[in-house]
């Protein structure tokens, strides 16, 4: 019987032998990270929930093809990026993304006042909108590195590109994001 | 270091992933370049803003929903499982069974000539057969018939002990099978029991090849192995049988029972009703009589099985069964006539209809022995 302490590799082996309980462990272990990545890629909570569910079910269907060459998490992230990128590219969703201010990024810091809370909320929505406007691969590398804190080596494996390419792509993506947030930075500095 | 070189490494500088020399050179450049310093601040803000984004929880019940959907999905098999699954789809079980049966049939067909060849070679080889006959018949002749009945020769003895209910009906297909199947041998017999393992390989094949005749009660077949004991033959026709000792004889198709059932008596190819010659009348030996496959039968049963037998005051004392090769029939008849007076002879009409078949096998002859008139 698989337990919460069982490694991903062991859970995968059990799952490949038909132990569906092992899959539940994998879902619980990775659902939060995958959901947040997908959510930041899409900018919509419901779409993110739906896409994340599809990510796990796709992994479940294809678990027989997972050979263990990479970590299960790396394989799962790759599925998530593919699914989110496909979803993001749909014109319908793009339209929704441009107006997506769904109030999900609530600020729950009780030590700050209402004005500051509103400002923080507005800032997060701007960042999310800037991410939505980036090219998918730029948003991906920023989110994986700066939000998920994934090492360069794993990023290289996940994106199937060399580590040097990951670094240069990350630098270019950060500059693109900075350009999207330039107005905010100018206003903020002026305010400061 | 110029601004272009510095900006390419600003991300590494902010993450502190550069080596000490490069870190120092970038710091030197930033201290003297306000443009690159502003760039560093902007990138640093971007990293901080993204990393400060709150981590959200998935919707409540997310795991349960995923698992509910997963349970409805049949897992995709491994690549090797898919490989074999393809065979499962294209080769259903029925087709596999047909192939298996076909292969078995071919194997059986190929082995059948081997069995026939063994029988033919033994029949055709005079150097082997006599010695073999001697080896197998002499011990039986040396021993008393009672002992012989207890230790039947495995290859030759097709006699049946009427009182042994464990005997099984052997097949009627020749000597090779007689040797492999302990025809007429009792399972209780330790000698036969010891011989059984070495025949274990042959028996299943024989049982497959040989069409089993139904077990018929209270009947026996005399064979050549009995003939070297004329003095032991209460009917005094042992010499006639002995002359046929080297003919291929069909083993007994009967199981030994003491009671003759009118429904179970086989249909002989020929029936003889004979009377003992008074000179040939041997001293009755109860042990031998018991041994020599005689079976007292009721008058009614005799009349049924030998309707041409003269009915009268003289009771039938014995009925004997013989299997004789067709080419030895005339010889058998002559020698029977020499040993006994043939009262009646009958060829069963129904059996003559398949004479062509009869020629290919051995003849089943029923001899009803009446007491001599003298």
> Do A60 and B73 form a contact (C-beta atoms < 8 A)?
yes
Q: Is the pLDDT of residue A161 over 50?
A: yes
> How high does pLDDT run on average in chain A?
83
Tell whether B254 and B106 lie within a shared domain: yes
Q: Which residues are bridge partners to B352 per DSSP?
A: none
Nearest to B323 by CA among B261, B247, B242: B247
Q: Do A20 and B54 touch (CB under 8 A)?
A: no
Closest CA to A75 of A65, A88, A89: A65
User: Are B204 and B274 in a shared domain?
Assistant: yes
**Looking at the domain assignment, is residue B114 inside a domain?**
yes
Q: Are both B279 and B342 inside the same structural domain?
A: yes
Q: Is residue B174 assigned to a domain?
A: yes
Residue A155's pLDDT band (boundaries 50, 70, 90)? Answer: very high
Same domain, B44 and B132: no
Mean pLDDT by runs of 10 across the 374 residues of chain B is 81 84 90 88 88 90 91 66 58 79 88 62 48 41 41 40 39 38 39 40 42 39 39 42 40 38 68 75 38 37 38 62 85 86 75 48 84 68
Q: Is B347 left (phi over 0), alpha (psi -120 to 50) or beta?
A: beta
Structure tokens at B124: 């055709």
Same domain, B37 and B173: no
Which of left, alpha, beta for B100 (phi over 0: left; psi -120 to 50: alpha)? alpha
Residues B133 and B215 in one domain: yes
Q: For residue A84, name the pLDDT band (cuts at 50, 70, 90).
A: very high
Claim to verify: residue B255 and residue B196 sit in the same structural domain: yes
pLDDT in tens, A20-79: 889 999 999 999 999 999 999 998 899 999 999 999 999 999 888 888 888 899 999 999
**In this structure, is residue B83 part of a structural domain?**
no
Which pLDDT score, from 0 to 100, does residue A183 have? 74
Give me the sign of the Cα torsion angle A179, A181, A187, A189: negative
Q: Within this chain, do residues B47 and B113 fall inside the same structural domain, yes or no?
A: no
The maximal CA–CA distance of chain B, rounded, in angstroms, is: 153
Q: Supply the pLDDT for residue B135.
A: 44
Strands across the sheet with B363-370, in order?
Answer: B318-324, B363-370, B270-276, B340-347
Single pTM value for the model: 0.47
Please list every residue in chain B whose beta carbon sits closer than 8 Å to the beta carbon of residue A56. 66, 70
Mean pLDDT of A80-84: 93
String of b and e for A9-35 (b: at least 16 CB within 10 Å)?
A: eebbbbbbeeeeebbbbbbebbbebbb
If asked whether residues B21 and B121 sit together in one domain, one would say no
Q: Do B53 and A56 touch (CB under 8 A)?
A: no
**Contact check, Cβ <8 Å, B50/A31:** no
**Does B194 share its domain with B45?**
no
Q: What is the distance between the terminal CA atoms of chain A, rounded to a whole angstrom?
A: 58
Distance (Å, rounded) from C-alpha A145 to C-alpha A170?
8
Counting residues of chain A whose pLDDT is more than 90, the rounded percentage is 36
Query: For residue B363, is it within any domain?
Result: yes
Pick the residue from chain A with its C-alpha nearest to B59.
A49
Total domain count, chain B: 2
Distance, CA of B326 to CA of B304 (rounded, Å): 25
| B23 in any annotated domain | yes
pLDDT in tens, B6-49: 888 888 888 888 888 889 999 899 998 888 888 888 888 889 98
Q: What is the pLDDT of residue A25?
A: 92
Domain assignment present for residue B74? The answer is no
Q: What angle do CA B136, B140, B146 make, to 5 degrees?
A: 150
Structural domain containing residue B26:
3-51
Q: Are strands B270-276 and B363-370 parallel, antiparallel or unpaired?
A: parallel
φ/ψ of B56, rounded to 5, equals: -95, 155
- Based on the fold, state whether residues B22 and B136 are members of the same structural domain: no
Which backbone phi and psi does A173 adopt, to 5 degrees?
-70, -40
B contact test, residue of A167, A168, A179, A187 with most B CBs within 10 A:
A167
> Over pLDDT 90: what percentage of chain B?
4
B50–chain A nearest CA distance, Å:
6
DSSP class of B222:
B
Q: Same domain, yes or no, for B129 and B259?
A: yes
B92 within domain boundaries: no
Whether residue B90 lies inside any domain: the answer is no
**So what's the pLDDT on residue B184?**
39
Q: Which residues of B touch A165 (CB under 8 A)?
A: none
**Does the distance separating the beta carbons of B51 and A32 come in below 8 Å?**
no
């Amino acid at each position: 019987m698989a337990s919460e302490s069982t490694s991903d590799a062991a859970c995968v082996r059990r799952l490949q032998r038909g132990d569906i309980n092992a899959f539940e462990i994998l879902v619980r272990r990775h659902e939060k990270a995958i959901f947040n990545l997908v959510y930041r890629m899409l900018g919509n909570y419901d779409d993110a929930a739906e896409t994340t569910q599809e990510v796990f079910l796709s992994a479940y269907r294809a678990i027989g093809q997972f050979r263990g060459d990479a970590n299960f998490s790396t394989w799962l992230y790759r599925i998530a990026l593919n699914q989110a990128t496909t979803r993001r590219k749909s014109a319908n969703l793009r339209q929704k993304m441009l107006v997506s201010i769904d109030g999900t990024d609530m600020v729950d810091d009780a030590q700050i006042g209402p004005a500051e809370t509103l400002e923080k909320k507005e800032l997060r929505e701007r960042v999310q909108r800037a991410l939505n406007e980036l090219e998918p691969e730029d948003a991906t590398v920023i989110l994986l590195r700066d939000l998920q804190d994934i090492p360069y080596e794993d990023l290289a494996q996940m994106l199937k590109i060399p580590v040097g390419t990951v670094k240069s792509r990350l630098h270019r993506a950060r500059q693109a994001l900075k350009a999207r947030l330039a107005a905010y930075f100018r206003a903020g500095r002026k305010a400061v | 270091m110029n601004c272009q070189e510095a900006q390419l490494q600003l991300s590494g500088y902010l993450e502190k992933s550069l080596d000490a020399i490069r870190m120092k050179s970038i710091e030197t450049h930033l201290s003297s370049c306000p443009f690159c310093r502003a760039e560093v601040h902007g990138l640093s803000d971007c990293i901080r803003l993204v990393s400060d984004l709150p981590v959200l929880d998935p919707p409540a019940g997310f795991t349960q929903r995923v698992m509910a959907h997963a349970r409805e999905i049949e897992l995709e098999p491994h690549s090797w499982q898919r490989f074999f699954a393809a065979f499962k789809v294209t080769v259903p079980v029925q087709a596999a069974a047909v192939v298996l049966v076909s292969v078995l049939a071919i194997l059986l067909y190929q082995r059948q000539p081997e069995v026939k060849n063994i029988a033919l070679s033994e029949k055709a080889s005079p150097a082997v057969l006599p010695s073999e006959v001697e080896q197998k018949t002499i011990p039986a002749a040396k021993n008393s018939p009672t002992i012989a009945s207890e230790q039947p020769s495995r290859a030759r003895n097709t006699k049946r002990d009427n009182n042994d209910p464990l005997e099984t009906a052997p097949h009627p297909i020749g000597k090779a099978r007689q040797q492999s199947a302990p025809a007429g041998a009792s399972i209780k017999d330790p000698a036969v029991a010891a011989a059984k393992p070495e025949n274990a390989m042959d028996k299943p094949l024989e049982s497959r090849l040989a069409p089993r005749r139904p077990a018929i009660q209270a009947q026996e077949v005399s064979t050549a192995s009995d003939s070297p004991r004329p003095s032991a033959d209460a009917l005094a026709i042992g010499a006639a049988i002995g002359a046929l000792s080297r003919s291929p004889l069909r083993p007994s198709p009967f199981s030994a029972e003491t009671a003759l059932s009118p429904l179970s008596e086989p249909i002989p190819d020929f029936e003889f009703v004979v009377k003992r010659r008074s000179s040939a009348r041997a001293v009755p030996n109860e042990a031998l009589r018991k041994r020599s496959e005689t079976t007292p039968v009721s008058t009614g049963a005799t009349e049924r099985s030998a309707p041409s037998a003269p009915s009268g005051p003289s009771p039938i004392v014995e009925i004997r069964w013989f299997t004789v090769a067709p080419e030895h029939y005339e010889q058998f008849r002559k020698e029977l006539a020499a040993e006994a007076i043939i009262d009646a002879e009958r060829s069963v009409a129904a059996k003559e209809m398949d004479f062509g078949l009869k020629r290919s096998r051995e003849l089943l002859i029923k001899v009803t022995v009446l007491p001599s008139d003298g």
